[in-house]
Copies of this chain bind each other. A is one copy, B any other.
């Protein structure tokens, strides 16, 4: 099924980007009339509370249609992990009007493509079709927003699919096993520590009732954002939306609970995973950091730029030092994940070169970070990083689907249209002092989890189980 193709990007997005503001930030208050940004993007609400964003792009007669629900894996009840993602799969099972499995086929028959993904904070469904098929799509998507029909047999079959998805993505890949464990250690209280795919034993217990309960609580027009990008005017889109989504009743119940706030961590945490399937020894580290939604003004922008200078690509400090100069690492880098409602993360990693002890690689990685904290970035580095981001922002503006995702992500994560569009201007204000300041503030070992993965052969069961006298740092 087509929606599974999406899972690829879905998982990585989940793992790398979706870890992340205050529930209060989730309700955007909009005036009754539509707001039109200088970019031509229009933002308004239907009477039932559904938000609509229209992004004009009249170059080709094509539209990208997305519906974003303000619900994700971090909203799952305790012990029911994986239900948000499972429901995303089940949303393709049909309604009174659409037979099970037909949704994607209808889209394909109409020359379109469709897709979906689940994050910790949002679940999104999207399609790309010729402009004249937009009314059909909107009708279908509005239909499955509240009329989902789940047959027991389809639920049972799809549960096998998600278990297989977990097996192939996590269980087959020791670095993902380690990443999952690191996240669980990084978030001791907040549900971002629970994998989006779910814990296997809880996934096995997911059933029709749990899916329906979750669906009935969270899938409603007043908890959704419609993004239409493409060859359509705001007025056309509004009329179509009113005739489809506009007819769906809002859910008057309380929709989303605030998530618990992660308590301060007091000590660095380390995990060691030895797995014969691992390639070269790898060290990675996550640090708790704020996200765009809850950072002090300018901090998230500074974190993005700082990590770009420090760790992104072959011209970064990390790569140049560890890979090019010292040749200790085969690869090295890092990232800042600043989406997310409640928290962000910094990540750094390095893969050992042949014959180099991973402890030496970690030491070299830490020296690069320590030097950055001490001396900061040069203006040239900052300018290059900033230009690179601004260029991507502009290039991204050229792609209908990336624009649609940009606005969708921004809104579900508590941002406004202005926030999203003024990002380049905010980047312009960041100084090298800001970079050094956020590095000093957020490279805090006490708020970190370090994971080391080593390709060690499995020992005999007893010794392996115990492993006493064998632990390494």
Q: Are B259 and A267 in contact (CB under 8 A)?
A: no
Residues of B within 8 A of A472 (CB): 473
Contact B269 A270 (CB under 8 A): yes
**Which listed residue, B188, B366, B466, touches A440 by the CB 8 Å rule?**
B466
The answer, among B178, B185, B267, B450, for a CB contact under 8 Å with A273, is B267
Note all chain B residues with C-beta closer than 8 A to A297: none
The interface residues of chain B lying within 8 Å CB-to-CB of A370 are 466, 468-469
CB-CB under 8 A from A267, the residues of chain B are 177-178, 181, 271-274, 451
The one of B199, B270, B443, B470 that contacts A468, using a Cβ cutoff of 8 Å: B443
Subset of 15 A-B contacts with CB under 8 Å: A78-B78, A78-B257, A178-B266, A181-B267, A185-B188, A199-B263, A267-B274, A268-B471, A366-B470, A373-B466, A443-B466, A443-B468, A445-B465, A445-B471, A472-B473
Known: A188-B193, A373-B462. 14 other contacts (CB 8 A): A79-B189, A180-B266, A185-B269, A189-B194, A266-B273, A268-B272, A268-B467, A367-B469, A369-B466, A369-B468, A440-B465, A440-B466, A443-B468, A446-B465
Q: How far is the CB of A436 from chain B (nearest CB, A)?
A: 10
Cβ–Cβ contact B373 & A261, under 8 A = no
* CA A184 to CA B201, docked complex, whole Å: 20
Candidate in A443, A466, A472 with the most chain B CB atoms within 10 angstroms: A466
Q: Are A444 and B465 in contact (CB under 8 A)?
A: yes
Instruction: A277 to B279: give the CA distance in the assembly, Å.
Output: 42
- Chain A interface residues toward B at CB < 8 A: 78-79, 81, 177-178, 180-181, 184-185, 188-189, 191, 193-194, 199-202, 257-261, 263, 265-274, 363, 366-367, 369-370, 373-374, 440-441, 443-446, 450-451, 462, 465-473
Specify the chain B residue showing the minimal Cβ separation from A180. B266
Tell me, in angstroms, the Cα distance from A350 to B200 when the chains sit together.
36
Contact of A202 among B261, B450, B471 (CB under 8 A): B261
Within the complex, the shortest CB–CB distance from A408 to chain B, in Å, comes to 27
CB pair A445–B466 under 8 Å, yes or no, is yes
Residues of the B chain whose Cβ atoms lie less than 8 Å from the Cβ of A81: 189, 260
- Which residues from chain B contact A259 at a C-beta distance below 8 Å? 78-79
How many monomers of this chain does the complex have? 2
Contact: A445 with B467, CB < 8 Å? yes
| Chain B nearest CB, measured from A197 CB (Å) | 12
Query: Which residue of the partner chain, among B184, B265, B266, B468, contacts A189 with CB atoms under 8 Å?
Result: B184
Considering the chains assembled together, what is the distance between the CA atoms of A201 and B443 in angstroms?
23
**Distance between A321 CB and nearest chain B CB, rounded to angstroms:** 13
Bound CA–CA A157/B446 (angstroms): 32
Chain B residues closer than 8 Å to A440, beta-carbon distance: 462, 465-466
Q: Among B79, B266, B465, which residue has its beta carbon within 8 angstroms of that of A177?
A: B266
Q: Which of B180, B185, B200, B473 contacts A185 (CB 8 A)?
A: B185
Are A270 and B473 in touch, CB under 8 angstroms?
A: yes
In the complex, A267→B273 CA distance in Å?
Answer: 5
Chain B: CB-nearest residue to A469: B366
Closest to A368 in B: B468
Verify B469–A443 contact, CB threshold 8 A: no
